[in-house]
Amino acid sequence: MTVSVRQIHPVFVGEVSGIDISTPLTPDEVAAIEAGMDRYAVLVFHDQKITDEQQMAFSRNFGRLEDARGGNITRPEDKRLQVGMNDVSNLGKDGRPLALDSRERAFNLGNMLWHSDSSFRAVPAKYSLLSARVVNPVGGNTEFADMRAAYDALDAGTKMMIEDLICEHSLMYSRGSLGMLDYSDEERAMFRPVRQRLVRTHPVSGRKSLYLSSHAGAIVGMPMAEARILLKDLTEHATQPAFVYAHRWRTWDLVMWDNRQMMHRARRYDETQPRDMRRTTVAGEASTTAQVAAA
């Protein structure tokens, strides 16, 4: 089989064919997927019937898996999936939808805000890979917004003004915007804000992008209200329809995206019905604040 990629949106997103990701890949296949990611930033694979082990093995072709600790409020003993798998379903350990008044469910609703996975970590994620095991019958699309196209479309003055800005990201900012303001001391320590550049440069393509996320809630050296207005403004610009692709899930789809160049969000769905989505996350390589500003 030969890997081929067809662009399915005017500015990004490739649909991949000619590959079975449940089996070990050849170096050429890995290189073709990496090249596709650098170019399209979101890749869609259909009909990939995989186990958790196969999803983790496929993901490791692109780097080591991120340690998922510190990314949620679910206690280890309540987790449904093994270490290495991020559970982005609406299911509890018993396999049933979480109670609508549960704190875990409220926290998970934060995935419906535009974000970049793990932007709240000092070294944020490279790729996320999401496998659809059970698709909810109503809603539940995942939308992606191209932060390279968004950056390119900014006017020169804005580009100059934001070039060296550093934002503070925390899960408490994204969840705070949903009214979740009560955290234990342990959670507060776990969700301590980290610093990220607002403008990133892709290590391979050299393209600049906006590094926005609902986890961003402050800008170093800027009054809070002014920072929030700027972040809201940029987010509104970056998520306009021309830069957005909506993925409508089919069972056994796998969608892979580059968090360094994309934001995404889940859309509302019928939470009384199961939605079983499982994510693996490829760790990033360095802090964004260590990145030297491109000339």
Contact residues for Fe ion (CB under 5 A)? 117
Q: Shortest approach of Fe ion to residue 117 CB, angstroms?
A: 4
Name the residue nearer to Fe ion (CB basis): 117 or 168: 117
d(CA 178, CA 45): 33
The residue with its CB nearest to Fe ion is 117
d(CA 291, CA 256): 24
Q: Shortest approach of Fe ion to residue 17 CB, angstroms?
A: 25
Conformational region of residue 139, where left means phi above 0, alpha means psi within -120 to 50, and beta covers everything else: left
d(CA 69, CA 49): 27
Name the residue nearer to Fe ion (CB basis): 32 or 194: 194
Name the residue nearer to Fe ion (CB basis): 150 or 266: 266
Tell me the residue length of the chain.
Answer: 295
Q: Shortest approach of Fe ion to residue 267 CB, angstroms?
A: 12
d(CA 113, CA 173): 11
Name the residue nearer to Fe ion (CB basis): 69 or 101: 69
Name the residue nearer to Fe ion (CB basis): 62 or 127: 127
Q: Shortest approach of Fe ion to residue 152 CB, angstroms?
A: 24
Name the residue nearer to Fe ion (CB basis): 19 or 249: 249
Distances in Å between the Cα of 88 and the Cα atoms of 91, 98, 133, 249 are 8, 12, 11, 14
Q: Which of 112, 130, 280, 120 is nearest to 211 (CA)?
A: 120
Q: Shortest approach of Fe ion to residue 237 CB, angstroms?
A: 21
Q: Shortest approach of Fe ion to residue 266 CB, angstroms?
A: 7
Contacts of 212 (CB under 8 A, 6+ apart): 114, 116, 147, 198, 231, 234, 235, 238, 263
| Tokens 């290189």, located at residue | 31
